[in-house]
Amino acid sequence: TGLVTLDTGFVNTASTQSSITYIDGDEGILRYRGYPIEQLAEASTFLEVAYLLIYGELPDAQRLTDFTAAIDRHRELDEGVKQLLATAPAGAHPMAVLQAAISALAAFHLDTLDPRDAEQRGQASIILLAKVPAIVAAVARHAAGEPVLDPDPSSDYVVDFLRMTFGQDDVDPDVVKAMDMLLILHADHEQNCSTSTVRMVGSAHASIYASVSAGVGALSGPLHGGANEAVLEMLADIQSSGGDASDFMTKVKNKEDGVRLMGFGHRVYKNYDPRAAIVKKAAHDVLDKLGKQDEMLDIAMGLEEIALQDEYFISRKLYPNVDFYTGLIYKAMGFPTTMFTPLFSLGRLPGWIAQFAEMITDPATKIGRPRQVYTGATERDYVAVAER
Ligand code: CMC
């Protein structure tokens, strides 16, 4: 069927048209539905941004109230989902448990599985937005060996998520504000690896639960969402070996054992990731407000300073990405390192949902089915095992 073009990693191939998120990687610009990320991070809330991404416009007060109420009605977890979460063995990575629980939602909401039915799809989207905070919090509690707390649907979405996670009723307003802002920053990022996965799975008309859980799987990888966890491990390693970053940077530049400066570089941004600029400032503010000085912040800034003046990084246009400073804020808030990528998942959820809806309602959508360039053996005859 004609010639195919090889584009490993889809470096030059657009998989879709989209009207959700705009990135100008050379200028370091990110907009959701036209709104600059800086304005949304400063002034909006996570649920408002979720509405914007999914429905295309900022909600008026009534629409926001209705949207929030619809979510609140579904915030409780099914007993079976709670039991499933409880079966995770100690030491399981929270991303593995989160992925399983999201996939399992399909087994508990049988009348929301047809993604082509707008009503079912809308309901499934609300169910996901409503239940994932409780699932993430339950995963965190299990991992910490603490009892799981039920949601309080009368309480604010982000406040309640923090209460369920940390088991404290008096949630610090500065922590709430920072959490809300970080969720906004992660809410969408056009056709990244996990979002493309969600679209690919959905293009086969699989349920939105199956598609989003596949997205969680993609996000768990250290080159994608897992980078936020990897950054903190990297900073901890540098700290425990005396805090000198230059040895580590030499390894990175020599590409020893494939070591990379985690939290640096991006397929699209060839300039400072605008989210990283916001997070860097917030890291200082939050650590100050919480009175938690962290030597790792100095190490991170030291690494950035070296990198931005070093020919290796300059010539490859490698700048800090969103994951470089987020972990330091999560740590100051009290999240263990393995919870960083589940937090990214919660943030990315509206983007996955919006992109799924755009994919399934676009008449131009076809099942995702890339071609290949075959490099294997030419035809040869089968040989019985005794004769091999
Ligand atoms: N440290 C050292 N060298 C790097 C890095 C890095 N973090 N990132 C890219 N390079 C080098 C790479 O070795 C290559 O060098 P050369 O031209 O000599 O072969 C060049 O820069 C281009 O890299 P690439 O791997 O072809 O670029 P890509 O677009 O395929 O990969 C990336 C993008 C984000 C996977 C990569 O930059 C990376 O691995 N970064 C570290 C992991 C990370 O922080 N990921 C988070 C991404 S942002 C948000 C998210 O998705 O979670």
CA of 375 to the centre of ligand 1 (A): 27
| pLDDT value, residue 3 | 86
Contact 215, 344 (CB under 8 A): no
Q: Please list, in sequence order, all residues whose beta carbon lies within 8 angstroms of the beta carbon of residue 109, skipping any fewer than 6 positions away.
A: 123, 124, 127, 209
CA 225-231-236 angle, 5° bins:
145
Mutate to test the pocket of ligand 1, among 266, 273, 275, 278 (most ligand atoms within 8 A of CB): 266
Q: What is the CA radius of gyration of the chain?
A: 22
| Cα 16 to ligand 1 centroid, rounded to whole Å | 23
Instruction: Specify the 3-state DSSP secondary structure of 320.
Output: strand
Q: Which atom of ligand 1 is nearest to the CA of 267?
A: 29
Query: What confidence score (pLDDT) does residue 1 get?
Result: 54
Compute CA distances 137 → 124, 134, 200, 220, 334, whole Å: 20, 5, 28, 17, 13
Alpha-carbon distance of 84 to 77, in angstroms, equals 11
Distance CA 123, CA 105 (A): 12
The response to whether residue 267 sits with its C-beta less than 6 Å from ligand 1 reads yes
Question: Identity (one letter) of the amino acid at 351?
Answer: G
264 lines ligand 1 (CB under 6 A): yes
347 Cβ inside 6 Å of ligand 1: no
At 7-24, the pLDDT tens digits run 999 999 999 999 999 999
- What order of strands is seen across the sheet that includes strand 35-36? 21-24, 29-32, 35-36
ipTM metric: 0.98
DSSP 264: B
Q: Which mutation among 267, 324, 326 tests ligand 1's pocket best, with the greatest number of atoms within 8 A of CB? A: 267
Mutation pick for ligand 1 pocket among 189, 223, 253 (CB with most ligand atoms within 8 Å): 223
Q: How far apart are the first and last CA of the chain?
A: 36
Residue percentage of the chain with pLDDT more than 90: 96
Report the 10 Å Cβ neighbour count for 186: 25
Q: How much is the pLDDT for 314?
A: 97
Average pLDDT, the chain: 96
318 ligand 1 Cβ < 6 A: yes
Q: Is 192 in the pocket of ligand 1 (CB under 6 A)?
A: yes
Residue nearest atom 22 in ligand 1 by C-alpha distance: 316
Say how many Å lie between the CA of residue 275 and the centre of ligand 1: 17
Q: Per-residue pLDDT tens for 170-186? A: 999 999 999 999 999 99
Which position has the token pair 């360039």?
Answer: 373
Structure tokens at 7: 């584009």
CB atoms within 10 A of CB 224: 18
Residues annotated as catalytic are 266, 323
Is the C-beta atom of 323 inside 6 A of ligand 1? yes
Task: For 142-157, give the secondary structure using H, E and C.
Answer: HHCCCCCCCCCCCCCH
Residues in the chain predicted with pLDDT less than 70, given as ranges, are 1
- Residue pair 30/23 in contact by the 8 Å Cβ criterion: yes
The Cα–Cα gap between 204 and 195 comes to 15
Strands (E) in the chain, as ranges, are 21-24, 29-32, 35-36
330 CA to centre of ligand 1 in angstroms = 23
Residue nearest to atom 21 of ligand 1 (CA): 316
